[in-house]
Chains A and B, each alone.
Chain A
């Protein structure tokens, strides 16, 4: 009797909670919105619009590792807590946006370049839009509509992994073996994970050990639920790299 009463009570609680938070389908971002990061650590307080950062505008030029290791950007939006004075001192955005490599960020007050980044809700017409940036790149089905992996392979993009005065001089990385990963779902095609394709963009230290801590193949157990929730592969795939809708890009090995 007690068990029945607790079941009814928990059902009632669940129903009330469900009614309070109606399920909404998450809107899929448009190609020009995919990989967009909005940062507002200090902008609004400084009476400026929040910063809109487009990954598609930067990734043809630089590897992920260059920005997320050498320059020091965290992997989570806003976690770096960039200040205008940092940029003006040549750190973070200012490592490239210094008036030489690219237009100057946060240089002098009132400079018209402010609005090029502090643009959320300003209706700013960008100097280069997605269409012009990706016009000659191989097409992809999802995300930005670009196959970035192919673009890097065929030389359409040549992302730099070294920034003078910032980066560490290192020798080129050796090619590493691909891994075959068995999916937990029966009948699902096996995953062929290419270390080589990933290290071109990320080196080793972007993924290990922060994202993948397992030290032996198969020791880091994760599911598609984890990935959809933004862990493991989902740290990048679903935010910047091709999204998880593109199943066949990872589940490539035919079922035996």
Chain B
């Protein structure tokens, strides 16, 4: 009886250990900390000075990158959200502006 119980316990434990990575993979990703979020925005916005020299594909990729970051920034606590939101909007709009300039001229 005791050995059956022990075997069941061990089997259950093995199941939990084996399922751990699968459960973790299904869990939603942790939102970035304010410092991580700032780093991501900084990287996306680091090329504004050079925007006129970027290719169309590079600009499109940067615009898409900013768009992907927007909901991440929107989920940040205040005033981090306000500061990074303004910065991200300004650089995203500039990349789009340069792209539009290229396509219309």
| Residues of A bordering B, CB below 8 Å | 69-72, 74, 80-81, 83, 86, 89, 91-92, 168-174, 176, 203-206, 208-210, 213, 215-216
Contact = CB atoms under 8 A, between A and B. Distances in A.
B61 interface: no
Nearest to B93: A209
Contacts of A173: 49-50
9 contacts: A80-B82, A81-B82, A168-B46, A170-B47, A172-B49, A203-B48, A206-B90, A208-B97, A213-B97
Contacts of B93: 205, 208-210
Contacts of A206: 90
B83 interface: yes
A256 B59 CA distance: 41
A171 B105 contact: no
A225 to B, nearest CB: 25
A170 B79 contact: no
Contact of B94 (A80, A91, A169, A204): A204
A80 B57 CA distance: 34
B67 interface: no
Interface string B19-34: 0000000000000000
Interface of B: 42, 45-53, 78-80, 82-84, 86-87, 90-91, 93-94, 96-97, 100-101, 104-105
A215 B79 contact: no
Contacts of B100: 215
Contacts of B49: 170-173, 203-204
Q: Which of A74, A169, A206, A209 has the most CB of B within 10 A?
A: A209
Contacts of B87: 69-70, 72
A173 to B, nearest CB: 4
A205 B90 contact: yes
Contact of B51 (A91, A172, A204, A210): A204
A170 B46 contact: yes
A168 B51 contact: no
Contacts of A209: 93-94, 96-97
B35 to A, nearest CB: 10
Contacts of A80: 82
B94 A74 contact: no
Given A72-B86, A168-B45, A210-B93, A91 B79 contact: yes
Nearest to B94: A205
Nearest to A161: B49
Contacts of A174: 52-53
Contact of A72 (B45, B83, B91, B97): B83
